A and B are shown apart, each in its own frame.
Chain A
Amino acid sequence: MRNRYLERLDKYIKIKIVGSNINNYLKRIVKKRVQLAEVIPVSYREVHVILKYSEYEKLLKFKSIYEITVLEMLGSKKIEANLKKNGLLLIFLMVSLVGIMLLSNVVFSIDIIHQDKGIRELLERELKKYGIVNYSLKMDYQELEDIEDKILENNKERLEWIEIDTYGTKYIVRVQERKLNEEEEITQYQSIVSKKDAVIVRIDAVRGEKVKNVNDYVSKGDTVISGYITRPDNSKVATQAEGDVYGEVWYQVDVDYPIVYQETNLTGKSKTVYVLYFFNHRIGLFDFDKYRSFEAKSKVMISSNMLDIKLVKEEQYEAIVKDEVYTEDIARNKAIDYIKSKLMKDNEDIVEIRDVKIMDTSSDEDSIEFNLFVKAIEDIGEIVSIEEVVEEDKESDDN
């Protein structure tokens, strides 16, 4: 039984036969029992014939004067011809497709993002256990999720969270370390009190109960952070209060600032000069490069009581003398700067001088006296010990 559908896949060829008497040639073809699938007459000199390739080979043996040209291949012969023509291209295409598929499914690098080297090494070992190494095949999303769960399960005490992301041919592993808070041992029960009269500007309570608020006025000794914590059932428990308390402290200071100011600074240069004092005259011997101003240590070499003559050896130290005369404004500003730096230097608790106001001024020939009101921000917290609260029995309470 012929299968007309499979026949289409047979090797067929379409040819053109050209000659003076085509009918004779066709008769010859018929006599030779060459099978023809289709005969398409074009003109009295030309005919197109579709036939099997094996029959075409038979035809070629008796083509004689007739011109036979192949027009096209059909069926599997056509596929064969195309493959031959584009074979190399197809091979390269296949190889490159396979190469791309392979390369895009291979992991070339794994980045573990964490600053701790120990955690990174731990993860490297864990990932290797589950086959995630460089140059391994990529895993799908579900597989990675399962591996993440297993790693977390095996390292509960060290790892809080892990995520493996795929970026092209790279895995990026992000991890969060589990940090357990160590419970601190309480060594001393204490409260934080104010060591000065002040207005509270800031309370940083780490432990304990705040009993004062910002902008509250506190006197010296007032509790600011209490070591006694009130429980929901109104019972109290003692703890070690911790924290910082900052308050605005007021100072009233008097500063006497000179109007005329002289400052002498030594330059470091020195020289020895012999000086002759002759009847109240001072003559420096061989002192050609005189210092403008200097301080001197003298030693009398020769002196005469009868004649007012003496020879003195002077050790001269060059000095620069600064003479200034201040106006009231300049003196005031200088006094304010002076008091700010002095207060901060003398009192380590002061963090900032917020404001300085001049309350009163009085002056004489040499100096001006200022009465200043200073607002300073200071650490006013002071630790005081407290007793541990002992819980009374309920029965005794009832009694």
Chain B
Amino acid sequence: MKLFNCLDRYLVDREYKVTLSKGRAHIINYLEIVDFSSDRVVVKYDGGKTTLLGTNLVVSKMLEDELLITGNLQSIEYN
């Protein structure tokens, strides 16, 4: 079982991650989008909330466990 858990952890990525690159934020393993507008996106995850602030923000991709926010990102806050 331990081995299975190790294997499971290795193969399946369940950790909440936010990857920021130029003009885009890639978020995986989120729970839901609480709020979004062109200058603010609030994303809820297991341990809290993440707020992305900027301009011309667009939810380019929204899958079950994956999110891609493009636009002019200025700041990110964790609560």
Contacts and interface: CB of A to CB of B under 8 A. Distances in A.
B45 to A, nearest CB: 15
A41 B62 contact: no
Given A1-B11, A33-B32, A39 B59 contact: yes
Contacts of B32: 33
Contacts of A39: 58-62
A316 interface: no
Interface stretch (A23-31, A171-179, A329-337): A23-31
Interface residues of B, number: 15
A30 B67 CA distance: 11
Interface string B1-42: 000000000011100000000000000000011001110000
B58 to A, nearest CB: 6
Contact of B36 (A1, A30, A35): A30
Contacts of A30: 33, 36, 59, 62
A27 B64 contact: no
Contacts of A23: 37-38
Size category of the binding interface on chain A: 10 to 19
Interface string A9-35: 000000000000001001101100111
Interface string A27-57: 1011001111111110000000000000000
Contacts, number: 35
A37 B63 contact: yes
B66 to A, nearest CB: 8
B42 to A, nearest CB: 11
A70 to B, nearest CB: 20
A45 to B, nearest CB: 14
Contacts of A1: 11-13
Contacts of A29: 62
A36 B62 contact: yes
B63 A36 contact: yes
| Residue among B12, B37, B38, B60 having the largest count of chain A Cβ atoms under 10 Å | B60
A37 B63 CA distance: 6
Given A23-B37, A30-B33, A35-B64, A41 B58 contact: yes
B13 to A, nearest CB: 8
A36 B36 contact: no
Contacts of A35: 62-64
A36 B64 contact: no
A37 B58 CA distance: 13
Nearest to B63: A35
A262 B29 CA distance: 142
Among B12, B38, B59, max chain A CB count under 10 A is at: B59
Given A35-B62, A36-B63, A39-B62, 4 more contacts: A1-B13, A36-B60, A39-B58, A39-B60
Interface of B: 11-13, 32-33, 36-38, 58-64
